Amino acid sequence: MTADLQKGSMRLRTCFLGLVALFVTGKCSYSPEPDQQRTLPPGWVSLGRVDSEEDLSLTFALRQQNVKRLSELVQAVSDPGSPHYGKYLTLEDVAELVRPSPLTLRTVQKWLLAAGARNCHSVTTQDFLTCWLNVRQAELLLSGAEFHRYVGGPAEIHVIRSPRPYQLPKALAPHVDFVGGLHRFPPTSSLRQRPEPQVSGTVGLHLGVTPSVIRQRYNLTAQDVGSGTTNNSQACAQFLEQYFHESDLAEFMRLFGGKFAHQASVARVVGQQGRGRAGIEASLDVEYLMSAGANISTWVYSSPGRHESQEPFLQWLLLLSNESALPHVHTVSYGDDEDSLSSVYIHRVNTELMKAAARGLTLLFASGDSGAGCWSVSGRHQFRPSFPASSPYVTTVGGTSFQNPFRVTSEIVDYISGGGFSNVFPQPSYQEEAVAQFLSSSPHLPPSSYFNASGRAYPDVAALSDGYWVVSNSVPIPWVSGTSASTPVFGGVLSLINEHRILNGRPPLGFLNPRLYQQRGAGLFDVTHGCHESCLNEEVQGQGFCSGPGWDPVTGWGTPNFPALLKTLINP
């Protein structure tokens, strides 16, 4: 990424007068750069400019209306003390609220038509528009953009992105939040396979985390499965050529699912499911969501990003904005460093997560696998929060390990468990008391210059993240670790609670956090031992935050104790 881009100081010398004349009279005029990823991620290499006639798919995020009102409605439908609790909005309700103004719709459509955009598709909420253009048209449309092909990541993925910032005509800037498909590079999975722990003797030991171990630790009996008689469903999302194989799922259930009723196939795949090799992360997500949330209809959202200009996470958000009937629980193992994302992008994605919360969807995101994270700002180290884990509108899941890695014992912190404080989002009111209690009582707080104590704090909950068995490409693989494992497990547990709620005539749980914090972690095993990793310097010596009684920014309120959690959440 160029120094010009990083400093945001490149001034444009030319302008596309034909387009600008539609909006601006007089001299050339542009808005500030609306969106950019600020650094080229490690491991990505440019293969040079893209041919001017090559086609691109770009997504235009149109400015929404009534976002503050949407936030108020999320609070009303998610707070058990509110008379509107559980009275979720439909997709049509949300569309009526946030739909861009007629002026915005008209202005953007006119702009795109003049540029030669084709095959444009909107969503139900009308706040996203995806169009096809060739590179020449896109570079004229988005002044300053210059498309290059890059290759990188463990799978040697090819993407088309612009190393230079784009600018919009000033008259258009009030109508478009950002254009997707230009700057953000795919994050790589941090899922890892750890070496097998060494231990003497084998009596009463397990040899890695399997569904039986999960169910034993979290007190799930053989009867704690879906009834098969409700419209309850759950989903996970897979990105970037990460696919699961139905044959792997069937083999996994044959090996590990013999003691509980389960479904051996996915009910629905939304998007394109590729025919390539299975990815460990996609296999893990599906296998543990369907074994924790056993016998519950499961969807997989597949956004492979097969076209090089697409952003798979953005494609998933568009799918949510275009389906009126969705699973109640969604688990996602995806994240970016907050500081790598522009302000307009991160706030707009946060609004998309708010839309989901208003509709009663429970979104669970992995907290990340870098502990508190670390980066240098003006020569000083700080912790590095992750997004969407830091969004106030999702439930973020951290990670734990068994105190004895070969026994089903109490849990301690998994040192990789992501957690900390947002530098973008202020602390939501639902967690102020819990965070204040932690900050005033923790004996091991890092220096205050390392984190924003007034920011949204995460994670909210946790589950085991260390030493999983996964079947991928027909091979059982041991000791797979990461919060990509804990997230579908917690999601499956919440799906079982939704099953009971639906059978009792209650609405699904929806956005869980206001209730979770009001009930102060009731129904969860409190994890009170261990710290996660952070900056390797003399000041903090690799240690971030440490867990303690109650909520903490390492394991949240703790891990699920199913019977107690069910009792806590089944009513009202």
Summarised one tens digit per residue, pLDDT across range 170-222 is 888 899 999 987 766 766 655 655 555 544 444 446 689 999 999 999 999 99
The pLDDT assigned to 45 comes to 85
The pLDDT assigned to 5 comes to 30
Residue set of the binding site for Ca(2+): 526-527, 550, 552
* Residues 386 and 490 reside in one and the same domain: yes
Which of 180, 198, 229 finishes a domain? 180
The pLDDT assigned to 13 comes to 25
Domain of residue 245: give its range: 211-570
More confident residue, 543 or 30: 543
Summarised one tens digit per residue, pLDDT across range 43-84 is 788 888 989 899 988 999 999 999 999 999 999 999 999 999
Averaged pLDDT, 33-50: 68
Is the residue at 347 inside a domain? yes
Indicate whether 23 pLDDT > 80: no
* Residues 162 and 215 reside in one and the same domain: no
Structure tokens at 441: 């009582």
Is the residue at 187 inside a domain? no
Is the residue at 186 inside a domain? no
Averaged pLDDT, 331-353: 92
Which of 129, 160, 180 finishes a domain? 180
Averaged pLDDT, 269-284: 81
What is the Cα 365 distance to its own chain's centre? 5
Is the residue at 83 inside a domain? no
Q: Which of 351, 451, 303 has its CA nearest to residue 73? A: 351
Mean confidence (pLDDT) of the chain: 87
Q: With cut-offs at 50, 70 and 90, classify the pLDDT of residue 554.
A: very high
Is the residue at 204 inside a domain? no
* 504 neighbors 549 (Cβ within 8 angstroms): no
* Residues 122 and 265 reside in one and the same domain: no
Using the 8-state DSSP alphabet, how is residue 56 labeled?
E
The pLDDT assigned to 338 comes to 94
Indicate whether 363 pLDDT > 80: yes
Between 76-90, 123-137, 193-207, 364-378, the lowest mean confidence (pLDDT) is in: 193-207
Summarised one tens digit per residue, pLDDT across range 391-401 is 999 999 999 99
Please return the burial class of 81, using the count of CB atoms within 10 Å of its CB with bins 0-12, 13-18 and 19+. Answer: exposed
Averaged pLDDT, 99-126: 94
* Residues 165 and 221 reside in one and the same domain: no
- The torsion angles phi and psi of 396, rounded to 5 degrees, stand at -100, 135
Between 46-55, 181-190, 261-270, 421-430, the lowest mean confidence (pLDDT) is in: 181-190
| C-alpha to C-alpha distance for 383 and 375, rounded to whole angstroms | 6
| C-alpha to C-alpha distance for 419 and 498, rounded to whole angstroms | 27
| C-alpha to C-alpha distance for 451 and 32, rounded to whole angstroms | 29
Is the residue at 80 inside a domain? no
* Residues 218 and 152 reside in one and the same domain: no
* Residues 504 and 563 reside in one and the same domain: yes
| C-alpha to C-alpha distance for 349 and 61, rounded to whole angstroms | 10
Averaged pLDDT, 129-144: 91
Indicate whether 473 pLDDT > 80: yes
The pLDDT assigned to 562 comes to 98
* Residues 161 and 217 reside in one and the same domain: no
Catalytic site positions: 281, 285, 484
Q: How many domains is the chain partitioned into structurally?
A: 2
* Residues 218 and 167 reside in one and the same domain: no
Residue 317, helix vs strand vs coil: helix
* Residues 219 and 147 reside in one and the same domain: no
Q: With cut-offs at 50, 70 and 90, classify the pLDDT of residue 3.
A: very low
Indicate whether 553 pLDDT > 60: yes
More confident residue, 225 or 142: 225
The pLDDT assigned to 207 comes to 81
What CATH number is given to the structural domain containing 540?
A: 3.40.50.200
More confident residue, 487 or 378: 487
Q: With cut-offs at 50, 70 and 90, classify the pLDDT of residue 6.
A: very low
Indicate whether 565 pLDDT > 90: yes
Summarised one tens digit per residue, pLDDT across range 236-256 is 998 765 678 999 999 999 999
Is the residue at 189 inside a domain? no
Indicate whether 290 pLDDT > 60: yes
What is the Cα 556 distance to its own chain's centre? 17
The pLDDT assigned to 39 comes to 60
Is the residue at 6 inside a domain? no
* Residues 151 and 229 reside in one and the same domain: no
The pLDDT assigned to 28 comes to 33
Indicate whether 90 pLDDT > 90: yes
* 177 neighbors 349 (Cβ within 8 angstroms): no
Reply yes or no: is the peptide bond before residue 508 cis, omega within 30 of 0.
Answer: no
To the question of pTM greater than 0.95 for the whole model, the response is no
The pLDDT assigned to 406 comes to 85
Using the 8-state DSSP alphabet, how is residue 431 labeled?
G
* Residues 225 and 173 reside in one and the same domain: no
Q: The dihedral of CA 22, 24, 28, 32: what is its sign? A: negative
Which of 160, 180, 200 finishes a domain? 180
Please return the burial class of 53, using the count of CB atoms within 10 Å of its CB with bins 0-12, 13-18 and 19+. Answer: exposed
Between 243-247, 357-361, 385-389, 432-436, the lowest mean confidence (pLDDT) is in: 243-247
More confident residue, 333 or 307: 333
* Residues 223 and 287 reside in one and the same domain: yes
**Which range, 183-197, 258-272, 529-543, is most confident?**
529-543
